[in-house]
Amino acid sequence: DKVPYVTVSSDLGERKIIWEGESSLSGKMVVEDVSSEEQGQKVHCRRLIFLNNPNVIQSEVKLLAQGESFSINHGLLTFDHHKALTIAMSYSAPSLLGSVSPLHTLVIGLGGGMFPLFLHKHFSQMKVDVVELDPSILQVAQETFGFVQDDRLKVIIEDGLLFVKKNALPPPESSTDSSSSSSSSSGASAAVTPSA
Protein backbone atom coordinates (compact mmCIF):
# COMPACT_ATOMS: atom_id res chain seq x y z
CA ASP A 1 0.00 0.00 0.00
CA LYS A 2 1.18 3.52 -0.81
CA VAL A 3 0.96 6.10 1.94
CA PRO A 4 0.96 9.80 0.90
CA TYR A 5 3.93 11.60 2.42
CA VAL A 6 2.19 14.75 3.60
CA THR A 7 -1.53 14.25 4.03
CA VAL A 8 -4.57 16.15 5.17
CA SER A 9 -5.86 14.71 8.44
CA SER A 10 -9.52 14.26 9.27
CA ASP A 11 -9.39 17.02 11.93
CA LEU A 12 -8.69 20.00 9.70
CA GLY A 13 -10.02 22.78 11.87
CA GLU A 14 -11.50 25.84 10.21
CA ARG A 15 -10.81 26.00 6.46
CA LYS A 16 -11.31 28.92 4.09
CA ILE A 17 -10.60 28.63 0.36
CA ILE A 18 -8.83 31.83 -0.71
CA TRP A 19 -8.01 30.87 -4.31
CA GLU A 20 -9.35 28.36 -6.84
CA GLY A 21 -8.01 27.63 -10.29
CA GLU A 22 -7.31 25.06 -12.95
CA SER A 23 -4.33 24.30 -15.12
CA SER A 24 -4.12 22.07 -18.18
CA LEU A 25 -1.04 20.41 -16.59
CA SER A 26 -1.89 20.30 -12.87
CA GLY A 27 -5.69 20.16 -13.03
CA LYS A 28 -7.98 21.83 -10.51
CA MET A 29 -6.34 23.24 -7.41
CA VAL A 30 -7.18 25.33 -4.36
CA VAL A 31 -5.30 27.41 -1.85
CA GLU A 32 -6.84 27.33 1.60
CA ASP A 33 -6.15 29.00 4.91
CA VAL A 34 -6.53 26.60 7.82
CA SER A 35 -6.87 27.47 11.51
CA SER A 36 -6.56 24.68 14.06
CA GLU A 37 -5.49 23.93 17.61
CA GLU A 38 -2.06 22.39 18.25
CA GLN A 39 -0.96 21.80 21.82
CA GLY A 40 -3.55 24.26 23.10
CA GLN A 41 -2.53 27.10 20.75
CA LYS A 42 -4.26 28.43 17.66
CA VAL A 43 -2.15 27.70 14.55
CA HIS A 44 -2.75 29.17 11.10
CA CYS A 45 -1.36 27.90 7.81
CA ARG A 46 -1.88 28.23 4.07
CA ARG A 47 -1.98 25.13 1.86
CA LEU A 48 -1.88 24.39 -1.86
CA ILE A 49 -3.94 21.29 -2.71
CA PHE A 50 -4.23 19.64 -6.13
CA LEU A 51 -7.79 18.36 -6.30
CA ASN A 52 -6.82 15.30 -8.35
CA ASN A 53 -5.24 14.10 -5.07
CA PRO A 54 -7.04 16.14 -2.38
CA ASN A 55 -5.57 14.27 0.60
CA VAL A 56 -2.00 15.32 -0.21
CA ILE A 57 -0.75 18.77 0.75
CA GLN A 58 1.37 20.08 -2.13
CA SER A 59 2.68 23.12 -0.21
CA GLU A 60 2.19 24.59 3.24
CA VAL A 61 3.36 27.70 5.07
CA LYS A 62 2.67 28.96 8.58
CA LEU A 63 0.77 32.23 8.83
CA LEU A 64 1.42 34.85 11.49
CA ALA A 65 -1.70 36.50 12.91
CA GLN A 66 -1.60 40.29 12.79
CA GLY A 67 -4.90 41.46 14.22
CA GLU A 68 -7.60 40.32 11.78
CA SER A 69 -5.14 39.59 8.96
CA PHE A 70 -2.19 37.25 8.42
CA SER A 71 1.33 37.46 7.05
CA ILE A 72 3.31 34.60 5.55
CA ASN A 73 6.24 33.22 7.56
CA HIS A 74 8.88 32.48 4.88
CA GLY A 75 11.46 31.74 7.59
CA LEU A 76 9.96 28.45 8.76
CA LEU A 77 9.82 25.07 7.01
CA THR A 78 6.73 23.00 7.80
CA PHE A 79 7.57 19.76 5.95
CA ASP A 80 10.01 17.34 7.58
CA HIS A 81 11.57 16.38 4.24
CA HIS A 82 12.50 20.04 3.61
CA LYS A 83 14.03 20.28 7.08
CA ALA A 84 16.05 17.10 6.52
CA LEU A 85 17.24 18.29 3.12
CA THR A 86 18.36 21.62 4.57
CA ILE A 87 20.33 19.87 7.31
CA ALA A 88 21.95 17.53 4.79
CA MET A 89 22.86 20.45 2.54
CA SER A 90 24.44 22.29 5.48
CA TYR A 91 26.64 19.31 6.30
CA SER A 92 27.61 18.49 2.73
CA ALA A 93 28.17 22.03 1.47
CA PRO A 94 30.73 23.87 3.66
CA SER A 95 30.21 27.18 1.87
CA LEU A 96 26.73 27.34 3.40
CA LEU A 97 28.43 27.68 6.75
CA GLY A 98 30.43 30.83 6.11
CA SER A 99 32.83 30.33 3.20
CA VAL A 100 32.90 33.10 0.62
CA SER A 101 32.43 30.58 -2.22
CA PRO A 102 28.80 30.80 -3.38
CA LEU A 103 26.70 27.74 -4.15
CA HIS A 104 24.27 27.25 -6.98
CA THR A 105 21.20 25.19 -6.03
CA LEU A 106 18.64 23.62 -8.33
CA VAL A 107 15.14 22.80 -7.07
CA ILE A 108 12.88 20.75 -9.33
CA GLY A 109 9.24 21.67 -8.72
CA LEU A 110 8.04 24.99 -7.26
CA GLY A 111 4.72 24.31 -5.51
CA GLY A 112 4.07 27.33 -3.29
CA GLY A 113 7.79 28.16 -3.36
CA MET A 114 8.37 27.81 0.38
CA PHE A 115 11.53 25.68 0.17
CA PRO A 116 13.34 27.94 -2.34
CA LEU A 117 12.25 31.04 -0.39
CA PHE A 118 13.59 29.53 2.84
CA LEU A 119 16.96 28.78 1.20
CA HIS A 120 17.07 32.28 -0.28
CA LYS A 121 16.32 33.90 3.07
CA HIS A 122 18.70 31.87 5.25
CA PHE A 123 21.66 31.22 2.93
CA SER A 124 22.84 34.52 1.49
CA GLN A 125 25.72 32.81 -0.37
CA MET A 126 23.29 30.64 -2.32
CA LYS A 127 21.83 31.20 -5.79
CA VAL A 128 18.63 29.18 -6.26
CA ASP A 129 17.16 28.16 -9.61
CA VAL A 130 13.78 26.45 -9.63
CA VAL A 131 12.56 24.47 -12.62
CA GLU A 132 8.76 24.19 -12.83
CA LEU A 133 6.85 22.58 -15.68
CA ASP A 134 3.54 24.39 -15.11
CA PRO A 135 3.51 28.21 -15.49
CA SER A 136 0.22 28.29 -13.52
CA ILE A 137 2.07 27.08 -10.42
CA LEU A 138 4.40 30.09 -10.58
CA GLN A 139 1.36 32.37 -10.76
CA VAL A 140 -0.24 30.67 -7.72
CA ALA A 141 3.03 30.91 -5.74
CA GLN A 142 3.33 34.63 -6.52
CA GLU A 143 -0.33 35.51 -5.86
CA THR A 144 -0.97 33.45 -2.72
CA PHE A 145 2.37 32.47 -1.13
CA GLY A 146 4.34 35.72 -1.56
CA PHE A 147 6.90 34.16 -3.92
CA VAL A 148 9.21 36.78 -5.46
CA GLN A 149 12.13 36.26 -7.84
CA ASP A 150 15.33 38.30 -7.76
CA ASP A 151 18.97 38.00 -8.87
CA ARG A 152 19.54 35.02 -6.48
CA LEU A 153 16.18 33.28 -6.96
CA LYS A 154 14.88 32.46 -10.45
CA VAL A 155 12.16 30.21 -11.86
CA ILE A 156 12.65 28.49 -15.20
CA ILE A 157 9.49 27.17 -16.87
CA GLU A 158 10.61 23.88 -18.35
CA ASP A 159 10.41 20.12 -17.86
CA GLY A 160 12.76 19.35 -14.94
CA LEU A 161 14.17 16.14 -16.41
CA LEU A 162 14.94 17.80 -19.74
CA PHE A 163 16.55 20.74 -17.93
CA VAL A 164 18.82 18.42 -15.95
CA LYS A 165 19.77 16.45 -19.08
CA LYS A 166 20.64 19.68 -20.95
CA ASN A 167 22.59 21.26 -18.10
CA ALA A 168 24.21 18.33 -16.29
CA LEU A 169 27.90 18.78 -15.61
CA PRO A 170 30.37 15.93 -15.82
CA PRO A 171 31.32 14.46 -12.41
CA PRO A 172 34.04 16.45 -10.61
CA GLU A 173 37.57 15.08 -10.86
CA SER A 174 38.26 15.61 -7.17
CA SER A 175 36.17 14.52 -4.22
CA THR A 176 36.42 17.94 -2.51
CA ASP A 177 33.31 19.29 -4.24
CA SER A 178 30.01 18.55 -2.59
CA SER A 179 26.61 17.93 -4.00
CA SER A 180 23.40 16.58 -2.58
CA SER A 181 19.99 15.77 -3.89
CA SER A 182 16.66 14.67 -2.56
CA SER A 183 13.14 14.21 -3.76
CA SER A 184 9.77 14.02 -2.10
CA SER A 185 6.31 12.80 -2.89
CA SER A 186 5.43 16.36 -3.87
CA GLY A 187 7.79 16.02 -6.82
CA ALA A 188 10.27 18.59 -5.57
CA SER A 189 13.95 17.83 -5.46
CA ALA A 190 17.12 19.84 -5.00
CA ALA A 191 20.76 19.58 -5.92
CA VAL A 192 23.58 21.72 -4.52
CA THR A 193 26.80 22.27 -6.40
CA PRO A 194 29.63 24.79 -6.09
CA SER A 195 29.23 27.73 -8.46
CA ALA A 196 31.69 27.94 -11.28
pLDDT tens digits, one per residue of 67-101? 888 999 999 999 999 999 888 887 766 655 555 66
| Nearest CA-CA partner of 108 in 8, 179, 192 | 192
Q: What amino acid is encoded at 116 in this protein?
A: P
pLDDT at 8 over 70: no
- Using only C-alpha atoms, what is the Rg of the chain? 17
| Nearest CA-CA partner of 137 in 60, 50, 38 | 50
pLDDT band at 12 (very low <50, low <70, confident <90, very high): low
